[in-house]
Every structure is written in C-alpha cells, then in structure tokens.
A and B are shown apart, each in its own frame.
Chain A
Amino acid sequence: DAGVTQSPTHLIKTRGQQVTLRCSPKSGHDTVSWYQQALGQGPQFIFQYYEEEERQRGNFPDRFSGHQFPNYSSELNVNALLLGDSALYLCASSLVGGLYNSPLHFGNGTRLTVT
C-alpha cells in the first residue's frame, strides 16, 4: 500500500522563476493538503483540495496555486519565486473530507531552495 509520494525530492531555482511540485496521495485518500515548513518551524497550511477544487486556503499570496486531478493527485505551483519561499513543501492526504478526525498522512516533502 503506497503512501504519499512527492516529487521531486530536491529543487534549486532562481528568484523570479516558477516551480511545480507534485503529489500522489495515499491509496484510498481523496483529499490533499499542502504545507510549507521553514527551517526550525512547524508546517504552515497553504491550501486543501477536494473534488478537484480548492476548499480552503491559508495566508499565502496568489503566487501559490494548485490543482487536483481526477485521480486525486495534486500539484503546487509557485510563481515569481522569492528567497523567502525556500522551505520544505509537504503534501498530506486524508480520507473523505479531511475534516475533524482525519489524521494527515504526509509525504517526505520537496526541499525547495531559491537562490
């Protein structure tokens, strides 16, 4: 039973560029959330996708956008990269709704470095 998989594992980009990160949820899960984790900090919620729509968004600018596909996989896109976007980007999947009592299952993340 495959867990959450993310690609790529590491990425180096230059300021102003655009990046796309990918996530496949755990088998049987239909909800995908994205989190940003700066060094030494806890994860911060970017947004959640369910039924191919963004259901809730955290305090992140419009440069951060996403997509969910019919097979429940998801992408996170970041435009006009800033140095401050350097972080570990974590994808988490959960069961129907992802509401209330659904534990999150995390991938190992994509380490993004912006130079």
Chain B
Amino acid sequence: SQQGEEDPQALSIQEGENATMNCSYKTSINNLQWYRQNSGRGLVHLILIRSNEREKHSGRLRVTLDTSKKSSSLLITASRAADTASYFCATVGQGGTYKYIFGTGTRLKVLA
C-alpha cells in the first residue's frame, strides 16, 4: 500500500492533556499536511509543513518533520472535547505529482 502509517491508531485522553500522534511515510516529499475528520464528514485542513521546515506552530497545534526518518508528529496541547476526531497526515511527493497520499489515521477521543 502507498498509504503512510500513523500511530497510535487510537488515543483516549482527558480534557486538558496533550495529545501526540505520529506519521511515517515512504517517499521523498514536497510537503506534509495534517487534516482532521469528524465522524462521517469531510476532512478539514489543519496545518502544512514544507520539506525544508522542521517545526511549525498554529494555535494549539505543533507539527514537527524529520525528513531523514520520513516521519512527522502532531501535538495538540490543552485538548478539548471538541478535538475528538480522526487525524490524518497527507504527503505530497516531489516531481510534480498532484496526488496526496493519506495515512491510516489516528482516532482521538478527548474525555470531558
């Protein structure tokens, strides 16, 4: 499969705690993006990190990228019940491709 792998597959935490999820991919990339999907709905873009960047912040989100290990992590700080969703990483390869390759997703549940 061309899909990336994410771990953990599922994560359950208390409100206020931090949530960390990881993504590994297989090919050289131009950029990596993270998306959120609420149950049965479309995906929402969260953040994009380019291959020459190592860390990026957006509000309560922090993304890191290690191209030598072909991996990325998403940290959500001070989680809220509304953060309950599935989170997917998506990579865009080099060489002029238009295809986004999505990972298998991490299902996050934040308990109030």
Contact = CB atoms under 8 A, between A and B. Distances in A.
Interface of B: 2-4, 30-31, 33, 35, 40-45, 48, 50, 88, 90, 92, 96-105
A88 interface: yes
7 contacts: A33-B100, A35-B102, A42-B90, A100-B30, A101-B31, A109-B40, A111-B40
Given A90-B42, A106-B42, A108-B42, A99 B48 contact: no
Contacts, number: 72
Interface residues of A, number: 32
Contacts of B96: 99
A77 to B, nearest CB: 20
Interface stretch (A12-20, A43-51, A67-75, A78-86): A43-51
